[in-house]
Structure 1
Amino acid sequence: MRRHELEHLIRAAAAVTNEYEIVVIGSQSILGAVADPPAALLQSMEADCYPLKQPELADLIDGAIGELSPFHERFGYYAQGVGPETAVLPAGWQDRLVKLQNENTDLKIGWCLEPHDLAAAKLVAGREKDGPFVQTMLRHGLIQLNTLLDRVQALPVDANAKARLARHAQALA
């Protein structure tokens, strides 16, 4: 997915839900802070999102512009309606959201995760693809290890999990 495609999804999600602000929490939220990230970070053809003020409307996103929808078939990418609980994020993440708003979003707002918050969520998720994603972010200077380690400490997980995630982040660096 490219930035203009994410902008299109924000515009479409806003239209489908009749909401002005959409939160993007998945891997493609990197496109809010980084207009042209490394290709390794652009592999997903979906954006996980929900309306900021009415997250319960995420089902409308799935139904109208989700996987296997006519939208997906036509454009080759789609939005997945999720809830705020989908990602485990560091305390204060809402205050660090990156605003993506322009003519291509029809001036609707896409609130994207700040890259360090995204990386911390990826570490918690711990899927096979998440380590290489975080490693690419580190390698290309999109995030800094010290800030990532601070965000890991702000995660709502127990001390053992924080220590494990910090060791994993250091190994990826």
Structure 2
Amino acid sequence: MKKQQVDHVLRAAGRITGERQFIIIGSQSLHGKYPDLPDEILTSFEVDLIASKTADRTEWLNVIGIDSPFHETFGYYADPVDASTATLPRGWKGRLVSLPPGETEGVKGLCLEPHDLAIAKYAAAREKDLIFTRELARRGIVFEERLLSLLDQTPVDREVRERMRSQIAGDFHAEKEINVPPRLDEVGRGRKPTRTRALERNDSAQNPANDSDNDTH
């Protein structure tokens, strides 16, 4: 989704609920800090919203939710959620990022900071989530040290924490021969991941001429 489409959903959400501020907790929250990211990293068609002032009005957003006339007309929709939908590090609300101004009729969007978003994706650990986190790492949107620090502040049990720690390490320290996950826009199409050789980060840094893949995915 483009930021203008997120703005459209916020505008509609404000009209329906009378709310002037929503928290965006899904992948579209990247628009808070990176409003001009290419579409291929933001392939979902829903905006996960919480009415931040009157939470019980969040359910009203089903009017513009999945399979609604709004969805059928525009191809994207609001997904009403609550704070328990995502597993987030302590203090995440204090790190929310304001969505840059747009055509929202004054409705404000508060977005997850990218590292908090990544932690939520590692916790969920669906195939599409782990493809997404690898892209965040590859593009330099998130950093390993910060993720590990936030992981220690995340309310998960020991087994889940160690699994997440391993997945974070895997995203930043790929082996020389790996199974590259499918592109984000290939999820659900049944395409098999291609096998390739990837240079480790240190090798790429020492031999920039070898790093010819500038695909922004």
Map Cα deviations across residues 99-120 of structure 1 (whole Å, 9 max, x no partner): 1152411121101110000000
- What is aligned with 1:30? 30
Q: Provide TM-score, normalisation by structure 2.
A: 0.76
Map Cα deviations across residues 9-29 of structure 1 (whole Å, 9 max, x no partner): 112112211111101111111
Comparing both chains, which one has the higher relative contact order based on Cα–Cα distances under 8 Å and sequence gaps of 6 or more? 1
Q: Provide TM-score, normalisation by structure 1.
A: 0.94
- Matched AA of 1:72: H
Equivalent pairs, count: 172
- What is aligned with 1:53? 53
CA distance in structure 1 between the aligned counterparts of 2:104 and 2:55, rounded to whole angstroms:
19
> 1:102, 1:108 within 8 Å by CA — same for their partners in 2?
no
- What is aligned with 1:69? 68
Aligned residues with identical type, % of pairs: 40
> 2:35, 2:100 within 8 Å by CA — same for their partners in 1?
no
- Matched AA of 1:120: I
- What is aligned with 1:42? 42
- Matched AA of 1:148: L
**SS of residue in 2 equivalent to 1:129:** helix
CA distance in structure 2 between the aligned counterparts of 1:94 and 1:34, rounded to whole angstroms:
18
> 2:89, 2:155 within 8 Å by CA — same for their partners in 1?
yes
Structure 1 segments (4+ residues) deviating >6 Å:
none
Structure 2: state its 5+ residue gaps.
173-217
Judging by fraction of residues, say which structure has more helix. 1
- Matched AA of 1:24: I
Structure 1: state its 5+ residue gaps.
none
**SS of residue in 2 equivalent to 1:104:** coil
